[in-house]
Structure 1
């Protein structure tokens, strides 16, 4: 199935060339509910995990009486080099898996997510004896249902993303805002919403951190994966003048409130942050360094 983002009302090369140097490639993943297998790329569903390797757990929890307990991590996503050559896979790897704790941790990150949000880089051919039954986080009474993704297949679409005001130079951000206001336009160009690889995160809720750098080597961080409660803004969740650009052209016939319509707008079924979005960032020098996770 092909899913397509509508063109923006703004064409940078024609309308605002100063934005062009800040463009970044991104991949809209367009997850849709399905039954992915353990060998491919997907959100939710089974990952290719070696049977001999212990399933990771988060031990950073205590009950009201101060007693420690553990939660098995949840398989959130898996991506292959064959599907996503845009990912900078470390030498000798062609598979990356994201697992996290099914209970929100406090920011700042990565301090609040030390063992709770982890990337595993593998070579798929080396997993010769895969685990057939993965832990069910719902078996634990303390899991947060909003942290567990539904199994989804992916329909990737390559797009170009641009930064929001927080990551544009101050003068450029002001000029762009003035340009939009003078023409009565709404920004439908920057910080593409939904699940995506690469691109830019919208920082309008919390503001841009003072330093986006790796906690291990201080190299700059780059957005690896954006998770989003909604694939596109709509209705009461969006401003009155919110653009409809990000609703795929092929799904415009679906009605909000219907099962199919809601599944297309909230396919993964997770509540990210306060019903908003979040970004998983990796070290630009070595993506094997601990990842950082920022919620909005």
Structure 2
């Protein structure tokens, strides 16, 4: 199924051309609950994992006696080059998988959670004997942590994303904010919400770190994947009371409900941070370096 984002209240080329050089293509993933296959791009589905490769675990756990008690990581996302050609796949790879520990550790990398949040870059046709049954999170995480995703198929939509005020040049951010205020317009143009690939993250809870650097080589970090508690927010409206821009046009005929039981608004069923969003950042020089995760 195709999902479509409504036009913004702002048309940069017409209204604020100074923004145009700062735009960047992002991919709204539009996850919806389903039964993705092993070879598909998905969130929360079965990964194409070699049967002869040990499943990774998180060593940052202890039993009641204080002894090490490793727990298997959770398969979060799988993306293919066929579905996402804009991804920078390292040479010889066409598949990337994200696994993480669903319990919060210190963040970001190189603190503890960096060791429990791992990207695996593969060549799909090299996996000739896939693992038939990956570890079931329900068997190991009996207290139901918030960061275990439900299985979702993806419906990619390319969209132009713009940085928020902390990443725009200060004078430009000030002028754009004043322009919106004068016209009583919402900012529905910058930092696209929801689950997306690339683009810019909204640093609405904490300030953006002064130096977003790779812990391995000190190259700049760039947003790879954003995970969001909700695709769009209840009570958020555009100009003249229109539905929020990021509520897909194809789903506006149904009444939204609050909470993770709404498969359109909160399809993945994760509560990120305290009901906000989080971004997985990778090294701009080599995405195989350890990733960093920030929540808002």
Report the Cα distance in structure 2 between the residues aligned to 1:199 and 1:123, rounded to whole angstroms. 25
Match of 1:275 in 2: 275
The answer to whether the Cα contact below 8 Å between 2:260 and 2:266 also exists between their aligned partners in 1 is no
Deviations 1:162-200 (A, max 9, x none): 001111111111111101111111100000000000000
Shift of 1:63: 4.5
Report the Cα distance in structure 2 between the residues aligned to 1:143 and 1:82, rounded to whole angstroms. 37
The answer to whether the Cα contact below 8 Å between 1:71 and 1:137 also exists between their aligned partners in 2 is no
Match of 2:38 in 1: 38
Report the Cα distance in structure 1 between the residues aligned to 2:109 and 2:175, rounded to whole angstroms. 32
Match of 1:154 in 2: 154
The answer to whether the Cα contact below 8 Å between 2:238 and 2:244 also exists between their aligned partners in 1 is no
The answer to whether the Cα contact below 8 Å between 2:260 and 2:269 also exists between their aligned partners in 1 is no
Shift of 1:206: 1.1
Match of 2:103 in 1: 103
Match of 1:217 in 2: 217
Shift of 1:114: 2.8
Could you say what secondary structure the match of 1:99 adopts?
Answer: strand
Report the Cα distance in structure 1 between the residues aligned to 2:2 and 2:237, rounded to whole angstroms. 28
Report the Cα distance in structure 1 between the residues aligned to 2:144 and 2:280, rounded to whole angstroms. 19
Match of 1:183 in 2: 183
Report the Cα distance in structure 2 between the residues aligned to 1:111 and 1:34, rounded to whole angstroms. 34
The answer to whether the Cα contact below 8 Å between 1:42 and 1:151 also exists between their aligned partners in 2 is yes
Determine whether 1:253 maps to 2:253: yes
Aligned length: 294
The answer to whether the Cα contact below 8 Å between 2:260 and 2:267 also exists between their aligned partners in 1 is no
5+ unaligned residues in a row in structure 1: which ranges?
none
The answer to whether the Cα contact below 8 Å between 1:71 and 1:102 also exists between their aligned partners in 2 is no
Bigger drift between 249-258 and 190-199 goes to: 249-258
Could you say what secondary structure the match of 2:115 adopts?
Answer: coil
Report the Cα distance in structure 2 between the residues aligned to 1:65 and 1:277, rounded to whole angstroms. 35
Determine whether 1:120 maps to 2:99: no
Report the Cα distance in structure 2 between the residues aligned to 1:129 and 1:79, rounded to whole angstroms. 19
Shift of 1:117: 0.4
Note closer, same or farther for the CA distance 1:110–1:226 as it changes in structure 2 (3 Å cut): farther
The answer to whether the Cα contact below 8 Å between 1:254 and 1:261 also exists between their aligned partners in 2 is no
The answer to whether the Cα contact below 8 Å between 1:59 and 1:69 also exists between their aligned partners in 2 is yes
Question: Aligned-residue CA RMSD in angstroms?
Answer: 2.0
Deviations 1:223-276 (A, max 9, x none): 1000000001113xx589896000000000111239998110000000111110
Match of 1:234 in 2: 234
Query: TM-score, normalised on structure 2?
Result: 0.95
Shift of 1:69: 1.4
Shift of 1:109: 3.1
Report the Cα distance in structure 2 between the residues aligned to 1:122 and 1:29, rounded to whole angstroms. 21
Report the Cα distance in structure 1 between the residues aligned to 2:108 and 2:64, rounded to whole angstroms. 23
Match of 1:196 in 2: 196
The answer to whether the Cα contact below 8 Å between 2:109 and 2:290 also exists between their aligned partners in 1 is no
Deviations 1:209-232 (A, max 9, x none): 011111111111111000000001
Report the Cα distance in structure 2 between the residues aligned to 1:42 and 1:247, rounded to whole angstroms. 20
Match of 1:165 in 2: 165
Note closer, same or farther for the CA distance 1:196–1:132 as it changes in structure 2 (3 Å cut): same
Shift of 1:7: 0.1
Match of 1:18 in 2: 18
The answer to whether the Cα contact below 8 Å between 1:110 and 1:293 also exists between their aligned partners in 2 is no
Could you say what secondary structure the match of 1:171 adopts?
Answer: helix
Match of 2:83 in 1: 83
